[in-house]
Amino acid sequence: MPEPLVRPARPDDEGALARLDRESWSPLFEVRPEPPAADAPFFRPTCGPDAHLVAEEDGRGVVGYVRLLPASPLETNAHVLQICGLVVAEEARGKGAGRALVRAAVGEARRRGARRITLRVLGPNTVARTLYTSEGFAVEGVLPGEFHVGGRYVDDVLMGRSLL
């Protein structure tokens, strides 16, 4: 099976990305208490197309995205970028889209001159944690019981890796 094409998001991807966000919502992956509203915009002024890479599969269109943002607004932290969202459509999971998106985010972070890339993932999301670990991310901290989602308290796992 060919690896999905990963490319920068375009403004006309907004509808597909918003739909993917709604359809993929789960308390396993999200800290939001419910899926985004059907009319909620996907792109925002601080998080537009330039903050996203999308995965496409032949005949299926957009099947995933990764959001890459500065880890903080501080100038002293400008060398760190953070994966602030990774979503893959259910029917595309296990076929390489997630891995391709993580690799593309690492490459994009390097292209932008970052020295580190970080992310946060919910403790029960073992599939994502395994993927990140296999791509060189290490657990750098755990905030026990940080979120109450899906009727239970779950850990917030902080992961990162050097880009040097």
User: pLDDT for 128-162, tens place per residue?
Assistant: 999 999 999 999 999 999 999 889 999 999 999 99
User: What does the pLDDT read at residue 34?
Assistant: 83
Q: For residues 100-123, give the mean pLDDT.
A: 97
For residue 132, give the DSSP letter: H
User: pLDDT for 126-137, tens place per residue?
Assistant: 999 999 999 999
CA atoms within 13 A on the CB side of 142: 10
Pairing assessment for the beta strands 116-122 and 80-88 based on DSSP bridges: parallel
Separation of alpha carbons 20 and 100, rounded Å: 17
- The CA-atom distances, in angstroms, between 115 and each of 3, 9, 71, 81, 118 are 27, 23, 12, 8, 10
66 forms bridges with which residues in the sheet? Answer: 53, 86
At 58, the pLDDT band (50, 70, 90 cuts) reads confident
3-state helix/strand/coil string of 43-70: CECCECHHHEEEEEECCCEEEEEEEEEE
Pairing assessment for the beta strands 5-8 and 152-162 based on DSSP bridges: unpaired
At 26, the pLDDT band (50, 70, 90 cuts) reads confident
User: pLDDT for 60-105, tens place per residue?
Assistant: 789 999 999 999 999 999 999 999 999 999 988 989 999 999 999 9
